[in-house]
């Protein structure tokens, strides 16, 4: 079993013939074995509409405890925007994620700046690539657009751009990563393997994502502009250039996990999303042999059957009860890849599965 740690027995990370790196069994692993525990996410956000209903520390959902909301909070701006199920959770969050009150103060700053946002009347000050053909959007063009955004938003008089609800949630997600990195740099030993360097090792999906949804460049640059305006002086170095924001957004796509409630019916709600670094090396397979389970704020991965030595360990990103066309369409649309798993090959009757 590994815990936010380098890949050790009984699993290892190596290159697959079809989809970058993946995790493989280095010995026979019985069914129901706990393979990986991600103790806490590097970055996380609870959607604004669920903030009072989901504990900011352990992600417990008030509804499941037959309550409408949690009501434990901090007094003052240092605890702004976060609710807790218990005093213990509040104190744990304060010690682990909110030292110096930075997370809460940033949340308070976001709320304040939201009030001065105006709906856009004209085009955004950053040039758009929306009208370009996907294949023409190169990394160079994309870099230039970001450079232009940096210059635009560095101008003192540049007005704050309008952000919708999801974009503001993305701001809060980025804030959580910035605050974590700030503490990691002050206390590298405490960060352990849950480090910025480990996050950078995750697959970078920036250009794939922008080619698939060119309008997201405009959204991402406005989010960056907003962050620059709201950032506390101690955190300014992280947004002086767009490097850190781009690095996170490039990995946000395709590597994060939805934060779902624990409903056992099919009506489970997505309450937010989180970046669990060690969990992001599991590839998808339409016949998965691993499942994930959230236990409070930890994400745990278990085998769902006996696994042979050398077999790849995969979870499913989509509903594997769907037929092949539906599964592949969902993976292509939301994860930007053509599934290379054996089941797809078989159902599409493609021979010569890569070895
Ligand atoms: C969460 S990451 C998994 C780890 C990734 N392979 C890596 O090298 O970091 C998801 C990405 O892995 C690749 N991938 C995962 N499952 C795949 C599959 N069944 N077929 C093809 N590519 C896959 C895709 O590029 C996808 O965006």
pLDDT at 129: 75
Instruction: Give the DSSP per-residue string, 86-135.
Output: SHHHHHHHHHHT-GGGHHHHHHHHHHHHHHT----SS--SS---TTS-GG
Tens digit of each residue's pLDDT (9 = 90 or more) over 155-195: 988 888 899 999 999 999 999 999 999 999 988 776 666 79
Return d(Cα 70, Cα 53) in angstroms, integer: 6
Token duo for residue 247: 């690095």
Return d(Cα 22, Cα 25) in angstroms, integer: 10
**Residue from 17, 20, 353 to probe ligand 1 pocket by mutation (most atoms less than 8 Å from CB):** 20
Q: Using alpha carbons, select from 40, 73, 37 the residue that is nearest to residue 55.
A: 73
Q: How many residues does the chain have?
A: 355
Å from CA of 226 to ligand 1 middle: 31
Topology classification of domain 2-39+276-347:
Beta-clip-like (2.170.270)
pLDDT at 5: 45
Q: Is 281 in the pocket of ligand 1 (CB under 6 A)?
A: yes
Q: Could you tell me the residue ranges of all domains in the chain?
A: 2-39+276-347, 100-255
Å from CA of 272 to ligand 1 middle: 22
Return d(Cα 43, Cα 49) in angstroms, integer: 18
pLDDT at 2: 43
Cα–Cα distances in Å, from 288 out to 123, 192, 260, 320, 346? 46, 30, 19, 9, 15
pLDDT at 200: 97
Q: What ipTM describes this predicted complex?
A: 0.99
pLDDT at 121: 63
Cα–Cα distances in Å, from 112 out to 80, 141, 160, 217? 11, 34, 12, 25
Q: Is the peptide bond before 10 cis (omega within 30 degrees of 0)?
A: yes
pLDDT at 125: 53
**Residue from 19, 22, 252, 275 to probe ligand 1 pocket by mutation (most atoms less than 8 Å from CB):** 19
pLDDT at 75: 82
Supply the DSSP symbol for 314. E
pLDDT at 159: 87
Å from CA of 277 to ligand 1 middle: 14
Tens digit of each residue's pLDDT (9 = 90 or more) over 39-94: 999 999 999 999 999 999 999 999 989 999 999 998 888 889 999 999 999 999 99
- Please give the number of the atom of ligand 1 that sits closest to the Cα of 341: 19
Å from CA of 284 to ligand 1 middle: 7
DSSP alpha helix (H) spans, the chain: 87-96, 102-115, 139-154, 165-186, 188-191, 196-200, 206-212, 215-230, 243-255, 324-335, 342-347
Å from CA of 208 to ligand 1 middle: 13
3-state SS assignment for residue 154: helix
User: What residue's CA is closest to ligand 1, atom 18?
Assistant: 339
Positions of the chain with pLDDT lower than 50, given as ranges: 1-3, 5-7
Å from CA of 37 to ligand 1 middle: 20
């Amino acid at each position: 079993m590994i815990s936010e740690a380098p890949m050790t027995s009984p699993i290892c990370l190596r290159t697959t013939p079809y989809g970058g790196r993946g995790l493989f069994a280095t010995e026979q692993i019985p069914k129901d074995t706990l393979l990986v525990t991600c103790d806490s996410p590097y970055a996380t956000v609870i959607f604004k509409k669920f903030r009072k209903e989901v504990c900011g520390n352990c992600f417990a959902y008030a509804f499941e405890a037959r309550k409408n909301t949690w009501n434990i909070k901090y007094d003052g701006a240092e605890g702004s925007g976060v609710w807790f199920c218990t005093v213990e959770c509040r104190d744990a969050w304060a010690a682990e994620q909110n030292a110096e009150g930075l997370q809460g103060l940033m949340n308070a700053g976001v709320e304040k700046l939201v009030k001065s946002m105006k709906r856009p009347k004209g085009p955004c000050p950053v040039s758009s690539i929306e009208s370009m053909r996907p294949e023409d959007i190169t990394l160079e063009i994309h870099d230039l657009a970001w450079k232009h955004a940096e210059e635009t938003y560095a101008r003192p008089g540049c007005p704050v751009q309008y952000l919708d609800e999801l974009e503001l949630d993305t701001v809060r997600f980025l804030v959580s990563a910035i605050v974590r990195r700030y503490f990691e740099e002050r206390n590298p030993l405490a960060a352990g393997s849950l480090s910025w360097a480990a996050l950078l090792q995750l697959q970078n999906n920036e250009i794939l994502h922008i080619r698939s949804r060119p309008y997201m460049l405009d959204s991402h640059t406005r989010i960056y502009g907003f962050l620059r305006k709201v950032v506390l002086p101690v955190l300014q170095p992280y947004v002086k250039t767009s490097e850190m924001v781009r690095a996170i957004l490039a990995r946000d796509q395709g590597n994060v996990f939805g934060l779902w409630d624990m409903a056992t019916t099919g009506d489970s709600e997505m309450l937010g999303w989180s970046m669990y670094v060690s969990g992001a090396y599991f590839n998808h397979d339409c016949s998965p042999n691993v499942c994930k389970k959230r236990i409070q704020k930890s994400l745990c991965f278990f085998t769902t059957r006996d696994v042979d030595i050398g077999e790849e360990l995969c979870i499913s990103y989509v509903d594997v009860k769907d037929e092949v066309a539906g599964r592949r369409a969902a993976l292509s649309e939301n994860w930007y890849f053509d599934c290379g798993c054996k089941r797809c090959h078989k159902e599409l009757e493609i021979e010569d599965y890569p070895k």
